[in-house]
């Protein structure tokens, strides 16, 4: 039975479309990463430390003021306290309690080409304490030198409860969890990184907590001073990479470009000449890569990290593997498409 030219063209077009749409599924397969065991180790350590912090809060009678089905609900704080800096997304805070983010941080460090010999800077906001703990777990497993700075203000549902600020979490992990990394520089956070937007009562809570631990803090006069100081602090310590957790204003800056800094591993950013470009921009411009842990929904989607509803955590195959091309399959698809075109032309 003969097939007219238009029908042949339509068939070839449909076959080409099907080949293109199915190319990733057919031509690629998942190959287990060589660092999978270390990634799993980081995940388990993050889980252990999550449990430790939750137990500490429970023992101290500090409860999460939210209704949620996540396993590590005590990692989250309240919607609003005097320490609260800005509004925050409850969904994002819940998502951050999946310990698989520790595996992701370790993966991204390795994808940046770094290993245990690197020196890694971290700037951490109290807004995402679970991501902070997961990151420290990944760095502990990596065994690298860490230059850690923290800001103690926190957005909604972060570490914003009196008696359970980020510095409390950190000290509990040092004392009971064998964490060997401690903040070398602390700020109040919030607007201008000096607590300008935090209620007076919140400032008193932060300052009295630091006095209790015998820890000094850095109080910048304004945002630009904080950006400049932190830039000098990290570059003088010759870091190979910065991990930024949360939306500390000194990290992001106040220029319009701060709104489009993508999550994940960053090696370059759009040109910005604004005087208030933040620490992230300045370090990337100095050829120091950054891992940005903010707007984490996109990262979760890309690496199939699930929202931990009702205690369900997944160990995503995508997260722990790489896509690898099947050359013979790809070649076969190419021959198929070329043959289809030939079929149309020879029967015209």
pLDDT tens for each residue of 70-93: 999 999 999 999 999 998 999 999
Give residue limits of the domains in the chain: 5-31+321-346, 36-311
Q: What is the pTM of this model?
A: 0.87
**pLDDT at res. 86:** 92
User: What is the predicted pLDDT for the residue at 161?
Assistant: 97
Query: Ramachandran region of residue 190, left (φ > 0), alpha (ψ -120 to 50) or beta?
Result: left
φ, ψ of residue 242 to 5 degrees: the values are: -115, 135
The DSSP call for residue 305 is: P
Beta bridge partners of 277: 253
Indicate if the pLDDT at residue 129 is higher than 60.
yes
pLDDT in tens, 49-76: 999 999 999 999 998 878 888 999 999 9
Mean pLDDT of 241-248: 96
Other CB atoms within 10 A of residue 112 CB: 18
Q: Which string of b and e fits 264-291 if b means at least 16 CB within 10 Å?
A: bbbeebeebeeebbbbbbbbbeeebbbb
Mean pLDDT of 213-228: 96
DSSP H helix total and E strand total for the chain = 12, 10
């Amino acid at each position: 039975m003969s097939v007219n030219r238009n029908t042949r063209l339509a068939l070839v077009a449909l076959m080409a479309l099907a080949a293109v749409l199915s190319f990733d599924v057919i031509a690629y397969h998942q190959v287990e990463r060589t660092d999978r065991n270390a990634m799993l180790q980081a995940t388990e350590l993050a889980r252990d430390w999550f449990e430790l912090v939750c137990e500490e809060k429970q023992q101290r009678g500090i409860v999460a003021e939210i209704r949620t089905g996540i396993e590590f609900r005590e990692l989250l704080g309240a919607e609003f306290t005097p320490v609260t800096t800005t509004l925050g997304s409850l969904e994002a805070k819940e998502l951050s309690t999946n310990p698989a983010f520790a595996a992701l941080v370790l993966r991204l460090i390795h994808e940046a080409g770094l290993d245990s010999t690197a020196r890694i800077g971290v700037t951490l906001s109290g807004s995402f304490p679970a991501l902070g703990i997961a990151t420290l777990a990944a760095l502990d497993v990596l065994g690298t030198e860490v230059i850690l700075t923290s800001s103690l203000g926190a957005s909604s549902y972060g570490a914003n409860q009196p008696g359970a600020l980020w510095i409390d979490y950190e000290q509990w992990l040092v004392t009971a969890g064998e964490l060997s990394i401690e903040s070398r520089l602390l700020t109040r956070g919030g607007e201008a990184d000096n607590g300008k937007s935090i209620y007076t009562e919140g400032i008193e809570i932060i300052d009295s907590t630091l006095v209790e631990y015998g820890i000094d803090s850095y109080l910048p006069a304004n945002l630009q001073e904080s950006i400049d100081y932190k830039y000098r602090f990290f570059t003088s310590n010759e870091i190979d990479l910065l991990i930024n957790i949360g939306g500390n204003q000194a990290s992001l800056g106040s220029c319009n470009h701060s709104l489009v800094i993508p999550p994940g591993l960053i090696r370059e950013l759009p040109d910005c000449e604004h005087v208030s470009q933040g620490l992230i921009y300045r370090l990337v411009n100095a050829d120091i890569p950054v891992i940005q842990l903010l707007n984490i929904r996109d990262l979760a989607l890309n690496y199939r990290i699930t929202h931990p509803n009702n205690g369900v955590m997944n160990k995503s195959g995508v997260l722990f593997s790489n896509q690898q091309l099947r050359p013979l399959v790809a070649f076969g698809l190419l021959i198929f498409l070329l043959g289809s075109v030939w079929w149309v032309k020879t029967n015209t």
